[in-house]
A = this chain, B = another copy of it.
Amino acid sequence: MNLAADPKADAFEALAAQPLTATIKGIPPRAAPIALGAVRKQGWNLLRGDLPFPLAVLSGAALEHNSRWMRAFIQANKLSIAPHGKTTMAPQLFRRQIEDGAWAITVATLQQLMVCRRFGFDRLLIANELIGPGELDAIFGELAKAPQLEIYALVDSLAGIERIAAAGRRTGNAARLQLLLEMGVAGGRTGCRSLGGALEVARAARREGLTLRGVEGFEGVLKETAAVDAFLDSITAAAEAIAGEGLFSADGQVILSAGGSAFYDRVAARFARSRLANEVQIVTRSGCYLTHDSVSYEQHYRAMRARELAEPGPHPGSLPTGDLRPALLIWTQLQSRPEPGRAILTMGRRDVGQDAGLPVPLLWYRRGLHEAPVAIGAGHSVAALYDQHCCLDCPSTSALAVGDLVAFGISHPCTTFDKWQVLYVADERYDIVDAVRTFF
């Protein structure tokens, strides 16, 4: 039974009933307050000007395609996926991911875990080292309240083991928290830097009566495939050494977990080589596949496809047919064309991430002129993003004019989602068919 597939219906009903006020970005004042669940019944259309700009708009069709694409990938490669919830922080999207076969939801913080608990997700992977006594007490407290709840968390140090053990003693259920030993790379983020260090932590876990279930790493700090492969192999090696000393908890499989959104092909390929005697569960954690993007993760995706072509025939890590599609665009309105080569649009750092590259203009629409949005054409690019404005360089011959709509592709979903409390879902005709609430 997929415990996590049984989220709390009443929490989702309460969410649907939640009134959205005009103080939330994207909610039209004349319709506010409006229940989240009532948005789909309004008959709003993005292109008709029913909504204020800028807007974050998800393509329902692209979401569905990407979600099924990942289901095909994990099934073909016999993986589990615990998609990183931090990307969208949208329980409505978590539910879709669970329905499409996700094994758990990954989170990075206590607050993110509490969002998942509110909506009844019962298998959670905290891909982080939580060491605050208050945080740990809260996590053990959640476990104490819910017998069906499974929480996995990372540990990379003796200090971490001590803090987890102390919190477990306070609540008397130390063994309920399932630990993954974290491996890291030199110059990188969290994680043990050596096999010896990893074994010390694993032995301490055993001494303290804690439950060690596997080994984990985040390869996304690396850029080169060879370095990623070597790091993934170090995770397998650590698991083999820990298993060799009998330090994993006696019951159940050994978990090997890695995989952001750039190298899950390699995770499948390298972990498949494990020589562990135990049954192995490989858990990937991509968060960005669901909406994909138009720049950064599109490049990562192209690199995965190139790696696949370099290794002909079916093999561990093979990707499904069809491509991931960018499901999230920011729609803006042109507010000024102060010079022939420049247009200013209603979108800024408050609306779109720029940490992994600037957004890219993709579509242009003018009511009366166009039946549907058209490609914006060459020569248009973002020159600067201010807090609330986008400066677009354009050819002096560009027909862009005040009032036109321009849609931008994004780079890095995580840092665009967190700028919106409500994102709309649109169909192919740009009718608004749903709204998604985030919890950042």
The interface of chain A, by Cβ under 8 A from chain B, is: 21-30, 49-53, 86, 108-111, 114-115, 118, 128-135, 137-138, 141-142, 156-157, 159-160, 163, 184, 186-193, 221, 333, 335-339, 342, 344, 346, 349-350, 354-355, 386-389, 391, 401-403, 414-415, 418-419, 421, 439-440
Chain B positions within 8 Å of A419 at CB level: 418, 440
Q: Identify A335's interface contact among B131, B134, B338, CB under 8 A.
A: B131
The answer to whether A186 touches B133 (Cβ under 8 A) is no
The answer to whether A401 touches B133 (Cβ under 8 A) is no
The answer to whether A108 touches B402 (Cβ under 8 A) is no
Q: Identify A190's interface contact among B50, B86, B159, B389, CB under 8 A.
A: B389
Q: Can you list the 7 inter-chain pairs with the closest CB atoms, starting with the nearest?
A: A159-B402, A108-B388, A22-B114, A190-B336, A129-B335, A29-B138, A25-B111
The answer to whether A23 touches B190 (Cβ under 8 A) is no
Assembly CA distance A215 to B288 (angstroms): 45
Assembly CA distance A115 to B350 (angstroms): 16
Chain B positions within 8 Å of A132 at CB level: 49, 52-53, 333, 403
The answer to whether A51 touches B189 (Cβ under 8 A) is no
Q: Identify A137's interface contact among B22, B23, B30, B355, CB under 8 A.
A: B30
Chain B positions within 8 Å of A350 at CB level: 86, 414, 418, 440
Name the residue on B nearest A110 (C-beta).
B52
How far is the CB of A42 from the nearest CB of chain B, in Å? 13
How far is the CB of A239 from the nearest CB of chain B, in Å? 19
The answer to whether B388 touches A109 (Cβ under 8 A) is yes
Assembly CA distance A132 to B128 (angstroms): 44
Chain B positions within 8 Å of A86 at CB level: 350, 387-388
Chain B positions within 8 Å of A138 at CB level: 22, 28-30, 52
Chain B positions within 8 Å of A391 at CB level: 188-189
How far is the CB of A244 from the nearest CB of chain B, in Å? 23
Chain B positions within 8 Å of A115 at CB level: 23
Q: Identify A338's interface contact among B29, B53, B110, B191, CB under 8 A.
A: B191
Q: Identify A402's interface contact among B157, B193, B337, CB under 8 A.
A: B157
How far is the CB of A357 from the nearest CB of chain B, in Å? 13
Given the contacts A130-B335, A160-B402, A335-B131, A189 and B344 also touching, CB distance less than 8 Å: yes
Chain B positions within 8 Å of A137 at CB level: 30
Chain B positions within 8 Å of A22 at CB level: 111, 114, 118, 138
Offer 28 A-B interface pairs, CB within 8 angstroms, sorted by A. Answer: A22-B114, A22-B118, A23-B115, A25-B109, A27-B111, A28-B138, A29-B138, A29-B141, A30-B141, A49-B134, A52-B109, A52-B135, A132-B333, A156-B336, A157-B402, A187-B339, A188-B391, A189-B336, A190-B336, A190-B338, A190-B344, A349-B355, A349-B414, A350-B414, A350-B418, A350-B440, A418-B419, A419-B440
Chain B positions within 8 Å of A27 at CB level: 111
Chain B positions within 8 Å of A403 at CB level: 131-132, 159, 163
Name the residue on B nearest A341 (C-beta).
B187
How far is the CB of A125 from the nearest CB of chain B, in Å? 14
How far is the CB of A178 from the nearest CB of chain B, in Å? 19
Chain B positions within 8 Å of A109 at CB level: 25, 52, 346, 388
Q: Identify A193's interface contact among B26, B114, B338, CB under 8 A.
A: B338
The answer to whether B388 touches A440 (Cβ under 8 A) is no
Q: Identify A342's interface contact among B187, B346, B402, B439, CB under 8 A.
A: B187
